[in-house]
Amino acid sequence: MSRSARLVVFLIGAGCVAAMFAVAFFKMPAFGGSMHLYRDLAVPASVSHYTANVVASVNFDQRAIDTLGEETILVASVIGAAVLLRPAEEEAEMRPKAVGRTLEATKLAGYLLLPVTLLIGLDVVLHGQVTPGGGFQGGVILATGLHLLYVTGSYRALDRLRPLELFDTGEAVGAAAFAGVGIAGIVVAGNFLANIVPGGTFGQLLSAGTVPILNGAVGLEVGCGIVVLVAHFLQQDIIISAQAEQAKPGGSSEPQAGERVGTAERS
């Protein structure tokens, strides 16, 4: 199909979808109204479980099984990306040479912000039940913070500080801990993912029962998962396919190509 024909088909379809949206929108409750039935049920349920952050209560207590599925999707995606990005048979792994330069200011900012970002990430994970935040958000901050090392221009430092096997294990442990808390709920209270831990004091760090435990599990899983994911993309960037090299004689397309360190075995 030619580009213009495809565009015409899309515009006809989009016009129909837009018309149906318009019909639906004018029959929906007006924006900003005060009728929210789910809100009226979720807020008392959250308060009765000593959870100050109602969103965290919905995610990790009232609809925790949904979050288990969400977390499993993340694990599956990381596995899928790792499989897709593994080095192929004909590819050689190249060690990046220290080429290009990083501004001193960038390096300084990176090294100064590394501990700060990791602390903020931990803070966001730990306070998920009392303030906005939680395992997903905190985990992403932790993983991003680690990659400040890459921004400072030192892939080797990142490589040393990032034992991938450990992060692979961390991801699995985080995902398993979530399911483990759920099974503990069956054993103790008879319900999967039941909130079995004593509630604590409303609005304090120790509150909300299982919510902070599940937040920690998710934080571990998301943080490790994102690190593994980014690692595979970075690795892909420094791996140059042998075919591409043959196609373009007299130089490689990547600026950081360095000495060849041997053919990567298929894993």
Separation between Cα atoms, residue 87 and residue 243, nearest integer Å: 13
Separation between Cα atoms, residue 249 and residue 260, nearest integer Å: 16
Question: Contact letters (x/-) for another protein, 85-114, by CB under 8 A?
Answer: x--x--------------------------
Separation between Cα atoms, residue 163 and residue 165, nearest integer Å: 6
Examine residue 208 and tell whether it contacts another protein (CB under 8 A).
no
Binder of another protein out of 7, 103, 116, 183 (CB under 8 A): 7
CB 49 → another protein: shortest distance, Å? 12
Q: By CB under 8 A, what part of segment 29-58 binds another protein?
A: 30-34, 36, 38-40, 42-43, 46-47, 52-55, 57-58
Query: Residue 1, CB half-sphere, CA atoms under 13 Å: how many?
Result: 8
CB 55 → another protein: shortest distance, Å? 5
Q: Which stretch binds another protein (CB under 8 A): 12-20, 172-180, 182-190, 192-200?
A: 12-20
User: Which residue, 81 or 151, has its beta carbon nearer to another protein?
Assistant: 81
Nearest 5°: the CA angle 79, 165, 64 is 50
Q: Which stretch binds another protein (CB under 8 A): 72-80, 146-154, 171-179, 182-190?
A: 72-80
Separation between Cα atoms, residue 54 and residue 62, nearest integer Å: 10
CB 167 within 8 A of CB 230: no
Element (H, E) at 227: helix 211-238
Examine residue 183 and tell whether it contacts another protein (CB under 8 A).
no
Sheet of 91-94: strands edge to edge?
Answer: 239-241, 91-94, 260-263
Count CB neighbours of 212 within 10 A: 26
Residues lying near another protein in the complex (CB under 8 A) are found at 1, 3, 6-7, 10, 14, 17-18, 21-22, 25-26, 28, 30-34, 36, 38-40, 42-43, 46-47, 52-55, 57-59, 63, 66-67, 70, 73-74, 76-78, 80-81, 84-85, 88, 130-132, 136, 202-203, 229, 232-233, 236, 241, 244, 247
